[in-house]
Chains A and B, each alone.
Chain A
Amino acid sequence: MSKELIRLANCTMAFDEDIVLDKINLSIKDKEFLTLLGPSGCGKTTTLRIIGGFQTPTAGDVWFDGVRINAVPPHKRTINTVFQKYALFPHLNVYENIAFGLRIPKADASGKKVKLPEEEIDQRVTEMLEIVNLRGFDKRRITQLSGGQQQRVAIARALVNRPKVLLLDEPLGALDLKLRKDMQNELKRIQKAMEITFIYVTHDQEEALAMSDTVVVMDAGKIQQIGSPEDIYNEPQNAFVADFIGESNIIDGIMRSDGVVEIFNRRFHCLDGGFDRDEPVDVVIRPEDVDIVPEDQGQLKGTVTSVTFKGMQYDIIVDFYGFKWLIQTTDLSPVGSRIGIKIDPDGIHVMKKSEYSGIFGDYSSYSEEYEEITSFEPDEEERGDEE
């Protein structure tokens, strides 16, 4: 798992004047499950297409197993792709869709084009149908399959070629929530069983956290952070990552000394250090890390302005000195009540100021933002640029 398989070195992609990728550097290890995560238009699909060979970077190099592959066309790469909305061939049945790649004559060691014998094709397709739980579906037409079944065919069609890397472009985007959860597990299982590298593109942070070994958070053509799901969630590098991954209250603060940060003119203990004295910083406080206490015991005091019941917990919005926080709690505090809060030092994460500082604001428009994050939006803009 430690060997490097793919490296993107200073990859830039520009369509006309529009820079979609800006000097990306990325190293992908063998047999790793890596997720490219980011909002629409962040460059994640473009990165995937560069690895797949559908696009050649304007500048920079792509290395595969130690070989530079910038100019190698897709059909000569040992990489296969599961496309957005599957891109199955409508005029072929399930069996022929999966067998498609196997029927293309491939050059053998001597450079002569050879066809696979029909028995081998049959054996491999059957095996694949088994793996994706579609036994008995081989003669079905594509239009007769449900979304989840089409998804499995798309995966089988890619994997039957025994690629070293499987690229997945928002593969679960078109499925409903329940099916999506099942398929997440299924994909993870398949990846383990086949022992190959998965590069997965999604804008759904929960999906990314649940499945990946490594998450690459992208925005505006740049990589914002690379790390394990835990790192990304607990130690976001800037306000963008903090905001994009999970819910977070991002507050302006001043680092008074190592371990002491000032918010709303009150000093809090934290675990971070290494900042200049009195340096302005962004402070991230996750909604679940806030304890509600009676008003007189609180480090900060505020008024509850809205309460939403979420099943497991209540999402409550609290106004502290004009800044609205999201707090998740199991105890109901009615709207209009005054409450106090306490935050443990490990619930406070301090970040350097960045270009993203100050743009995310507070939770005064919470519900809309929530909608925006969970609703599925295919990356059309990104594709639109390539036309």
Chain B
Amino acid sequence: MKKQNRLGSRLLIGLMFLFLYAPILLLIVFSFNAGDSSAVWKGFSLHWYGKLFQNRLIMESVYTTLLVSLLATAIATAAGTFAAIGLYSLGRKKREALLTVNNIPMMNADIVTGVSLCLFFVAFFQGWGTFARWFNDLQSVVELPERLVLGFGTLLLAHVSFNIPYVILNVAPKLRQMDRNLMDAAQDLGCTWMQAFWKVMLPEIKPGIVSGALIAFTMSIDDFIISYFTAGSASSTLAMTIYGMTKKRVTPEINAVSTLLFLSVLVLLVLSNLKEVRAEARSRKGAAHRSTALEKLGQRIAEPRFRWVRRGTAAALACAFLFTVVVLAKETGSRPVVNVCSWGEYIDEDLITQFEDTTGIRVNYQTAESNETLYSLLKSGGADYDVVVPSDYMIGRLIQEDMLDKLDYSQIPNFSLIDDRFKHLSYDPANEYTVPYAWGTLGIIYNTAMVEEEITSWSALYDDRYAGNVLLINNSRDALGEALLYLGYSVNTTDEGEIRQAYELVADANRRGVFQGRVMDEVLQKMEGGNAAIATYYAGDYISMLENNEDLAFVIPEEGSNWFVDAMCMLKDAPHQKEAHMWMNFIASTESNLMNMDYIGYASPNREALERYPAYYEELYGEELEPEIYDIMVTPPEILERCEAYLNLPAATLNLYNTLWTQMGVN
């Protein structure tokens, strides 16, 4: 009996660890996948690690992350340690009250911290702007910058501010354990307070400081939400970049970088644990302790005659640090820049390098994950982008709210290369604000091994025959839009009855258990792995799914579908207008469009690029592009006629969408 129990508990522990570590193991395994799927294994390869180090976006964000984490850790550790010491010189009541106050930011939701920091910075910038203008008008000796924006500085400040409580929390117990008389004793023996701090207090509380710094560092590396709200347009941390890249799918590069991140944190952890274990063993052995070679070296260096060596090293380190900071500041300070915000995996990065090499303009390329988040980012006033690439209906909204600047098309000669079909669209009828970037259609993707018939209608989504095998797109506009189309209504209807009818159709199918789940990015893994039969997604992504599962088919139903255009626009009062125009012109060129079309799989709006793509493909890959594939990428005009673009809906309708969509989650 007893033995059985033990077996049971071991099994339970095993299961627990499996549950904890299986996802990470899976991620590590798939980082070595030769293919680009996260569901289908195509053999071992280091390909993605190689690609990772060539990925400019990731490498830059790794650099930013490390720099901000190290700086924030250093500053927060120093500030937090002295704050903790200060707290301990206060009376008990005051100290306890302050420690509680210190704990609140850690308990606080990151999103609240992030948003409030962002608001605070923006409010401060506005106040500063007013002050600087007044001050500059008053005199002409010193010129204060009038316009401050979110960037590396605010990111660093935010990290410092959320790190300090963790340092205090770790240092405080060590101070509590320390005999309060130690500092008095050191001063009694002739030390000034500062000498006593270095000679006595620091060695005593060092373990707390080290663990505080380690936690602060991990927190910094880990943080996404707070960084997201405070980094502005010019800097992006690794977590932000990864999040932006997952908009479409988890690429194996992300697996690779996550694996490296996981391993480095693991090594850090093991190192700090080993140190503790050794320290414990030492204190147990006591006198038997023999100094290690490293400690001996440390002791030797600490001898007075090596003072110059110590000072020299410290000075060299300080110089190196200063140099890095100056170079960094100069890099961003003196070179012309353009700040671009787009979607993840939505550009061939060689284009960025090409543009930088030919023009000398630095491109700060950031990503947002949806039109809605981009909108809220712009509204918060923290972002400092020049060029954004929203979708049609969002462009309508931005124009309506006067958030975009008109473009000077004389600076964008390549605009003439854009096919007329993509000019003067409903969101920008006079075509004063936009340069189209890419376009595509929404359709049904299905697995021919699991679905016998040929699907031609949206009705398949609500069909009991496929119960449990249909993936509903997790986006109210698309999910209800499909139902509206099936019912023969416009996707842009504002009629409440029609929308409610569409909702009932979806909700009823949901009640009958037709849907396996509501998904966005997971659609790629699920369909590639054959875990679902039917899904709706974008044509561009279908192409990459087909590479991993040949049974998949794509169709634009006969009732018609949604087609979308993403276009480049320039934000109101963008600080780098000239550079923004140059960037748009560069991207609109046929060469750029060909490269992008090949990289992202979405159709280009450039007339020449559309025509030349099959030839370009053949030249690049040495094989012919199948016409069917081309037709899916570039929806033929006769099918496109059936499709409708989303318009910006009035607020009341948007609210209705939200309410209904939330309701469905409950049922």
Residues of A within 8 A of B (CB): 52, 54, 73-75, 79-81, 83-85, 87-91, 100-101, 104, 106, 115, 139-141, 143-144, 157-158, 161, 383-384, 387
Contact = CB atoms under 8 A, between A and B. Distances in A.
B283 A85 contact: no
Interface in B496-516: none
Interface in B162-200: 179-182, 184-192, 195, 199-200
Nearest to A154: B185
Nearest to A79: B188
A87 B184 contact: yes
B184 A54 contact: yes
A104 B189 contact: yes
Given A75-B189, A387-B92, 5 more contacts: A54-B188, A87-B184, A88-B185, A89-B186, A101-B189
A79 B192 CA distance: 15
Given A141-B286, A384-B92, A387-B92, A87 B181 contact: yes
Nearest to A115: B304
B634 to A, nearest CB: 73
11 contacts: A52-B188, A54-B187, A75-B190, A79-B188, A81-B185, A83-B181, A85-B181, A100-B199, A101-B189, A140-B287, A143-B286
B203 interface: yes
Interface of B: 89-92, 95, 179-182, 184-192, 195, 199-200, 203-204, 283, 286-287, 304
B179 A80 contact: no
A91 B203 contact: yes
Contact of B190 (A54, A106, A383): A106
B184 A90 contact: no
A101 B190 contact: yes
B172 to A, nearest CB: 14
A89 B287 contact: no
Contacts of B181: 83-85, 87
A52 B287 CA distance: 35
Contacts of B95: 387
A140 B286 CA distance: 9
A144 B184 CA distance: 23
Contact of A81 (B91, B184, B304): B184
Nearest to B190: A104
Nearest to A90: B204
Query: Main secondary structure on chain B at its contact with chain A?
Result: helix
B287 A383 contact: no
Which of B90, B188, B283 has most chain A Cβ within 10 Å? Answer: B188
Contacts of A141: 286-287
A80 B286 contact: no
Q: Which 10 A-B pairs have the closest CB atoms?
A: A101-B189, A87-B181, A104-B190, A87-B185, A83-B181, A91-B203, A74-B187, A81-B188, A75-B190, A387-B91
Contact of A104 (B184, B195, B304): B195
A106 B190 CA distance: 8
Contacts of A90: 204
Contacts of A79: 188
Contacts of B287: 139-141, 144
Contacts of B185: 81, 83, 87-89, 157
Contacts of B184: 52, 54, 74, 81, 83, 87
A85 B286 contact: no
Contacts of B191: 75, 104
Given A87-B182, A139-B287, A143-B286, A74 B188 contact: yes
A75 B179 CA distance: 19
B359 to A, nearest CB: 59
Contacts of B189: 75, 80, 100-101, 104, 157-158, 161
Contacts of A81: 184-185, 188
B294 to A, nearest CB: 17
Given A83-B184, A83-B185, A143-B286, A89 B192 contact: no
B191 to A, nearest CB: 6
Given A91-B204, A139-B287, A141-B286, A383 B180 contact: yes
A151 to B, nearest CB: 14
B195 A89 contact: no
A198 B287 CA distance: 34
B179 A85 contact: yes
B295 to A, nearest CB: 13
Which of B186, B187, B190 has most chain A Cβ within 10 Å? Answer: B190
A52 B186 CA distance: 12
Nearest to B178: A90
B208 to A, nearest CB: 14
Nearest to A76: B190
Contacts of A104: 189-191, 195
Given A104-B195, A143-B286, A80 B188 contact: yes
B581 to A, nearest CB: 64
A126 B431 CA distance: 92
B179 A87 contact: yes
B188 A89 contact: no
Contacts of A384: 92
Contacts of B91: 387
Contacts of A85: 179, 181
Nearest to B289: A141
A87 B187 CA distance: 12
B568 to A, nearest CB: 62
Nearest to A93: B287
A90 B204 CA distance: 8
A141 B282 CA distance: 11
Contact of A75 (B187, B200, B203, B304): B187
A88 B185 CA distance: 8
Contacts of A383: 180
A140 B180 CA distance: 23
B483 to A, nearest CB: 68
Which of A79, A81, A140 has most chain B Cβ within 10 Å? Answer: A81
A75 B283 contact: no
Contacts of B188: 52, 54, 74-75, 79-81, 158
A73 B189 CA distance: 11
B292 to A, nearest CB: 17
Contacts of A115: 304
Contacts of B192: 73, 75
B286 A387 contact: no
B253 to A, nearest CB: 47
A74 B190 CA distance: 7
Contact of A89 (B89, B90, B182, B187): B182
A104 B188 CA distance: 11
Contacts of B200: 89
Contacts of A83: 181, 184-185
Which of B181, B186, B191 has most chain A Cβ within 10 Å? Answer: B181
Which of A75, A84, A85, A100 has most chain B Cβ within 10 Å? Answer: A75
Which of B90, B95, B179, B195 has most chain A Cβ within 10 Å? Answer: B179
Contacts of B190: 75, 101, 104, 106, 161
B179 A387 contact: no
B123 to A, nearest CB: 38
Nearest to A385: B91
Contacts of A75: 187-192
A87 B188 CA distance: 11
A157 B186 CA distance: 10
A101 B185 CA distance: 10
A157 B200 CA distance: 15
Contacts of B195: 104
A81 B182 CA distance: 11
Nearest to B89: A387
A158 B188 CA distance: 8
Which of B180, B195, B204 has most chain A Cβ within 10 Å? Answer: B180
A88 B287 CA distance: 18
A368 to B, nearest CB: 30
B113 to A, nearest CB: 31
A85 B181 CA distance: 9
A131 B532 CA distance: 87
Contacts of A143: 283, 286
